[in-house]
Amino acid sequence: MKHHGNMDFLNSILNNLMTDNKFSLAATELLSRRVAGTKAPRLPADIRPETIEEALLVQEQMAAQRNDSIGGWKCLLPFDDKVIVGPIFSDTVQTGAVCHLLVDKNKARVEPEIVFVLNKDLPAKDTDYTEDEINAAIGSCHMALELMQSRFTDDTDAEFPEKLADVLLNQGLFIGPEIDREKAFTASNINLTFTQGDIIRNMEGTHPNPLPHLPVYWLINYMSKRGTSFIKGQALTTGSYKGIVDVDFDIETTIAYEGIGEYKVTFKQL
């Protein structure tokens, strides 16, 4: 019996090593695709994540393989048995008058959002943080753009866990000016204007969740119980008011959130 017990133990270690290697290889492949012009097929079947849990383990491996830290997170409230969550790496978080990003379909592809920046650490724990505790940890709110890049081929049949492992098109985050906290928390609908030269686009924006800050509560408690600590300075972005907006490079762009604020930024190709 002791012999069988030892074999079971060794087999368990071997299986764990093989699983970890699978996620590590998937992470390496997905990171290699974060270059301009990528339109890749599905991951090879032997390293393809098949569940949400496996997708999150691939994300962890991606973070471990990079030289930078996690500068933020993207999230939405769960729906249809899907979770929308992923790390945004600190080297891809930007602010200022210029925003650099990888070209996709000959455009700069962005999603207009609101981010909530932490002013204190929220260490991982097994029990929930209260809404008051999380509110107290939100130091500032900002207009922002999630920077997007479609890395799978347009006709891909990749399933949700594979896309989640790839952090759902994210290539980075641009943080704009700080905005009024109460307006940020209650901005369910925003009239948006993107202006590039003589081209003016007015859009009615609606947040995918009832209130833009609600996914922050879910994110912190969901990931905290998985052992993830949130760090002062991380920016949490919670969904686009208008999906992906394609804009041109090398033209000063004015982005206005009616009743909230506006800013100017020029997009440059990496």
Instruction: Give this prediction's pTM.
Output: 0.92
Fold that domain 68-269 belongs to in CATH: Fumarylacetoacetate hydrolase; domain 2 (3.90.850)
User: How far is it, in rounded angstroms, from Cα 170 to Cα 176?
Assistant: 17
- The pLDDT score that the predictor gives to residue 20 is 73
Residues 114 and 143: beta-carbon distance below 8 Å: yes
Which helix (H) or strand (E) is 171 found in, with range? strand 170-179
Provide the 10 A C-beta neighbour count for residue 5: 9
Distance of CA 22 to the CA centre of its chain: 23
Contacts of 156 (CB under 8 A, 6+ apart): 41, 42
Crossing angle of the two packed helices 52-65 and 2-32, in degrees rounded to 10 = 70
User: How far is it, in rounded angstroms, from Cα 146 to Cα 110?
Assistant: 6
Q: In terms of Cα–Cα distance, which of 139, 145, 34, 36 is closest to 96?
A: 145
Amino acid, res. 49: P
User: How far is it, in rounded angstroms, from Cα 75 to Cα 237?
Assistant: 6
- The pLDDT score that the predictor gives to residue 15 is 53
Q: In terms of Cα–Cα distance, which of 241, 237, 263 is closest to 252?
A: 263
- The pLDDT score that the predictor gives to residue 3 is 54
The pLDDT tens digits along the chain (270 residues) read: 445 566 555 454 445 545 679 999 999 999 999 999 999 999 999 999 999 999 999 999 999 999 999 999 999 999 999 999 999 999 999 999 999 999 999 999 999 999 999 999 999 999 999 999 999 999 999 999 999 999 999 899 999 999 999 999 999 999 999 999 999 999 999 999 999 999 999 999 999 999 999 999 999 999 999 999 999 999 999 999 999 999 999 999 999 999 999 999 999 999
User: How far is it, in rounded angstroms, from Cα 238 to Cα 235?
Assistant: 10
Q: Beta strand pairing status for 189-196 and 93-94?
A: unpaired
Amino acid, res. 164: L
